[in-house]
A and B are shown apart, each in its own frame.
With several copies, the nearest count.
Chain A
Amino acid sequence: MPHDATLLDERDAAARAAAADLARTPEASARTADHGHDDLRSLEAGLDRLQTSPDRAPSAWRRFTTSVLPPILFVVALIAAWQLYVVIAQPRPDIVPGPVDVFNAIVLGWESGRLQLAVITSLERGVVGFLIAVIVGTPLGLLLAEVKPLRRAVGPIISGLQVLPSVAWVPAAILWFGLTDATVYFVVLMGAVPSIVNGLISGVEQVPPQLRRVGTVLGANRTRLATLIVLPAALPGYVAGLKQGWAFSWRSLMAAEIIAMGGTIGFGLGSMLQQSRELADIGGVLATVLVILVIGILIELAFFAPLERRMLRRRGLLQGGTR
Chain B
Amino acid sequence: MSGQTAIRIDRLGKRFGAGPLVLDDVNLSIETGEFVCLLGASGCGKSTLLNLIAGLDRPTTGSIDVPAEGAAVMFQESALMPWLTARQNVELALRLRGVARTARRTEALELLDVVNLADAAEKRPHELSGGMRQRVALARALAQDRPVLLMDEPFAALDAITRDLLHEELERVWRRTGRTIVFVTHNVREAARLGQRVVLLSSRPGRVAGEWRIDTTERRRIESPEVAALSIEITEQLRKEIRRNAA
Touching chains A and B, CB distance < 8 Å:
yes
Which A residues are closer than 8 A to B by beta carbons?
A: 1, 3-20, 22-23, 25, 27-28, 30-31, 33-34, 36-37, 40-53, 55, 208, 210-211, 213-220, 224, 228-229, 232-233, 235, 311, 314-317, 321-323
B131 touches A47 (CB 8 A): yes
Q: How far is the CB of A33 from chain B (nearest CB, A)?
A: 7
19 CB contacts below 8 A, A to B, read A1-B233, A1-B237, A1-B240, A8-B213, A12-B217, A15-B217, A16-B33, A19-B175, A23-B176, A23-B177, A36-B168, A44-B131, A47-B42, A47-B161, A49-B245, A51-B41, A51-B43, A52-B132, A210-B79
Any A CB within 8 A of the CB of B144 = yes
Q: Known: A23-B175, A224-B96. Is A44-B169 also a contact (CB below 8 A)?
A: yes
Q: How far is the CB of A231 from chain B (nearest CB, A)?
A: 10
Nearest-CB residue, chain B, relative to A210: B79
> Could you give, for residues 72-97 of chain B, a 1 whenever the CB lies within 8 Å of some chain A CB and a 0 otherwise?
11010101011100000000110111
Q: Is the CB of B72 within 8 A of A40?
A: no
B44 within 8 A of A: yes
Given B116, B124, B233, which contacts A44 in the complex, CB threshold below 8 Å? B116
Known: A13-B2, A15-B217, A208-B79. A228 touches B92 (CB 8 A): yes
Using known A-B contacts A12-B213, A43-B239, A53-B43, determine if residue A232 contacts B116 with beta carbons closer than 8 Å: no
**A44 contact set on B, CB distance < 8 A:** 116, 131, 165, 169
Which residues from B are CB-within-8-Å of A20? Answer: 1-2, 33, 178
Check if B222 is an interface residue, CB within 8 A of chain A: no
B110: min CB distance to chain A, Å: 5
- In contact, B92 and A55 (Cβ under 8 angstroms): no
- 1/0 per residue B33-46: CB within 8 Å of A? 11000000111100
Which of B5-13, B60-68, B204-212 interfaces with chain A? B204-212
Interface string of B213-242 (1 = CB under 8 A from A): 111111000000000000001001101101
Contact, CB under 8 Å: A217 / B33: no
* CB contacts between A and B, total, < 8 Å: 206
| Number of B positions contacting A (CB below 8 A) | 80
A8/B211 contact (C-beta < 8 A), A15-B216, A22-B175, A30-B176 known: yes
The listed residue (B44, B79, B202, B218) touching A214 by CB distance below 8 A is: B79
Say whether B44 contacts A50, CB under 8 Å.
yes
A213 to B177, alpha carbons, bound, how many Å? 25
Chain A neighbourhood of B122, CB < 8 A: none
Q: Is the CB–CB distance between A41 and B178 below 8 Å?
A: no
Pair A48/B174 contact, Cβ less than 8 Å: no
Return chain A residues, CB-CB under 8 Å to B124.
314-316
The reply to whether B82 and A316 contact each other, CB–CB distance below 8 Å, is yes
| A9, A16, A17, A20: residue with the most chain B Cβ atoms closer than 10 Å | A16
Across the two chains, which residue of chain B brings its CB closest to A40?
B168
> Once the chains are docked, how many angstroms separate the CA of A47 from the CA of B213?
26
User: What residue in chain B is nearest A211 (Cβ atoms)?
Assistant: B79
Q: Within B121-164, which residues are at the interface with A (CB < 8 Å)? A: 124-132, 140, 142, 144, 161-162
